[in-house]
Amino acid sequence: MTEDAPKTGQKRVALVTGGTRGIGLGVARALARENFDLAVCGVRDAAAAAPALDGLRQLGAEVLYAQADVSDPAARGKLLEAVRAQFGRLHVLVNNAGVAPKVRADVLEATEESFERVLKVNLQGPYFLTQRCARWMIEQKKARPDWRGCILNLSSVSATVASVNRGDYCISKAGVSMATRLWAARLGEFDIPVYEIRPGLIRTDMTAGAQGKYDSLIAQGLLAQSRWGLPEDVGKAAAMLARGDLGYSTGQVLMIDGGLALQRL
């Protein structure tokens, strides 16, 4: 048994990036209710994240918080070192952390600076965090054949729905979608499923600035289900996948969008 092998009775561990607010917090809460211990990272300091972390602990989870920017390779390394030190094991990676462009700019006017920032956080960071976590997961699987885990990538309906005033965001999420396929194909031999959760209009601080616009569109029939999605809607989907309910469905996309992408006449 390796030093990373769990002792009998230990809980499974999930790492949720950006897990102290918005969709990430919804996912973390759902996993805490599923009896996971949690490693959570974000760019805020621990004091700012404390209320969210306390709430997760009240749900019964042991919680590690690491201040880490997933776009920074050194920060990713320190994050996993912290997870190893506290838990010695990892079963689920949730790549949730992401940013929107600071300015919604038409693709004719958008800047390379914004493109680089958004792609680095939303795509490059999760891609290489997955690489490091996947290597660790493979080690655990080889050491303990009964080990089971998965990787969940949070994308967006923007992976396929074009918004010409935030092209960088759309491209980053389309990249996450392909990354899911790549990792699903590569990790299949180890029976480590990789999934994409594709949310639609979810009410969070990221979408607050466009609430009026989307309230109007929802009222006009944009969605088959005429309401905003909530972080807990996404959390329930993540919990289902983390439990292993769709263990024979690697590479699949789970739409949590209220029917936004549903073709209708």
Q: What count of other Cβ atoms lies within 10 Å of the Cβ of residue 209?
A: 10
CA dist 84 → 39, 80, 133, 250 (Å): 10, 6, 11, 26
- The C-alpha atoms of residue 73 and residue 127 are separated, in whole angstroms, by 11
95, 121 contact by CB (below 8 A): no
CA gap 223, 235 in Å, rounded: 20
Annotated catalytic residue, options 65, 169, 195, 248: 169
How far apart are alpha carbons 109 and 260 in whole angstroms?
A: 28
User: Coil, strand or helix: which one is 192?
Assistant: coil
And the tokens for 49?
């994240």
What the block records as the tokens of 26 is 């919804």
195 given a catalytic annotation: no
Query: For the chain, what is the total number of helices (H) and then of strands (E)?
Result: 8, 7
Known catalytic residues? 169
